[in-house]
């Protein structure tokens, strides 16, 4: 199974953009890149997903490298409510989400 | 529109006992996945149910079993509980897809403590 690598934690100031990196050097051609986040004491929440092209939605943007070996989740203007653990996950052809330990995002007011 | 619900919220059992956790999927969803999340770690996939059958299974022993009912709700059963089974158990629902773009909606989880 292809794996992802993320920094353990990151800090950012409130109302500034946040770029969360993810490496997935063993990704296969059909693996989708998914991002979920988990707020304290809650179940994970879907953020965004993509295959090859950059993606945007109301929550975030996903920038995917041309060789697909890495991607970056972009929160355009972080708020205190964005403090969470962010997971970069690959959905493989068996429909399984392979989770890592994620990045704990700390937002400073 | 109700999201994914799980019961109970918390549960305390002793080693060797058996436990049943329940999940109701988001309205309109037909697929249920179960995950185990140890403290400080990401969720680990246990298995997924679709059309009342186990479709995929992660690396968990046979002590972990499940069931899906005709109304798409699901149960997770764990037999012969071990201390290491203490974790947050998450249920996620989704729509079956032919491509791998499956977006999952998670419940709040059941916190199981084994003493």
Contact (CB<8Å) A92/B100: yes
Question: CA-to-CA distance for A86 and A38, rounded, in angstroms?
Answer: 6
- Tokens read off for B6: 């799980």
* Chain B residues touching A95 at Cβ < 8 A: 48, 55-56, 97, 100, 102
The minimum CA-CA distance between B40 and chain A, rounded to whole Å, is: 8
Name the nearest CA neighbour of A89 among B7, B46, B76, B44: B44
Closest Cβ opposite residue B100 in set A87, A91, A100: A91
Q: Pick the residue from chain A with its C-alpha nearest to B97.
A: A95
CB contact B102 to A (< 8 Å) = yes
Burial status of residue B6 (CB atoms within 10 A of its CB: 0-12, 13-18, 19 or more): buried
pLDDT category at A91 given cuts 50, 70, 90 is: confident
Position B49 scores a pLDDT of 93
Query: Are the CB atoms for A101 and A9 separated by under 8 Å?
Result: no
Q: What is the dihedral of CA A12, A62, B104, B5, to 10 degrees?
A: 30
A9-43 confidence digits (pLDDT tens)? 999 999 999 999 999 998 888 888 999 999 988 99
Contact (CB<8Å) A95/B108: no
CB contact A87 to B (< 8 Å) = yes
CB contact B58 to A (< 8 Å) = yes
Above 70 in pLDDT, residue A95? no
Name the nearest CA neighbour of A90 among A69, A60, A67, A65: A69
Question: CA-to-CA distance for B101 and A92, rounded, in angstroms?
Answer: 10
- Tokens read off for A14: 């409130």
Closest Cβ opposite residue A101 in set B41, B58, B102: B41
Query: Are the CB atoms for A62 and A71 separated by under 8 Å?
Result: yes
What is the full per-residue pLDDT of chain B (115 aa) written as tens digits?
Answer: 679 999 999 999 999 999 999 999 999 889 999 999 999 899 999 999 999 999 889 899 999 999 999 999 999 999 999 999 999 999 999 887 545 556 889 999 999 999 9
- Given the DSSP bridges, would you call strands B110-114 and B10-13 parallel, antiparallel or unpaired? parallel
Mutate to test the interface with A, among B29, B42, B90, B98 (most CBs of A within 10 A): B42
Cis peptide before A38 (omega within 30 of 0): no
CB contact A55 to B (< 8 Å) = no
- Tokens read off for A91: 């959905």
> How many interface pairs between A and B have CB atoms less than 8 angstroms apart?
55
């Amino acid at each position: 199974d292809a794996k992802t690598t993320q920094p353990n934690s990151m800090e950012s100031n409130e109302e500034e953009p946040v770029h969360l990196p993810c490496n997935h050097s063993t990704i296969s051609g059909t693996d989708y890149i998914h991002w979920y986040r988990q707020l304290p004491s809650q179940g994970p929440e879907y953020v965004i997903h993509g295959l090859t092209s950059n993606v945007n939605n109301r929550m975030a943007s996903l920038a995917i490298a041309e060789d697909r070996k890495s991607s970056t989740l972009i929160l355009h203007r972080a708020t205190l409510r964005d403090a969470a653990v962010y997971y970069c996950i690959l959905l493989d052809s068996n429909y399984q989400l392979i989770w890592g330990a994620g990045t704990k995002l700390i937002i400073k007011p | 529109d109700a999201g994914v619900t799980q019961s109970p919220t918390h549960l305390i059992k002793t080693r060797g006992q058996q436990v049943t956790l329940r999940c109701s999927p988001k309205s309109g969803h037909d697929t249920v996945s179960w995950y185990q999340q140890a403290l400080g770690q990401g969720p680990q996939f246990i298995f997924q149910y679709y059309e009342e059958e186990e479709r995929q299974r992660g690396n968990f022993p046979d002590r972990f079993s499940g069931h899906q009912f005709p109304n798409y709700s699901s149960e997770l059963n764990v037999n012969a509980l071990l201390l290491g089974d203490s974790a947050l158990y998450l249920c996620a629902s989704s729509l079956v897809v032919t491509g791998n773009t499956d977006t999952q909606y998670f419940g709040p989880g059941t916190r199981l403590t084994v003493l």
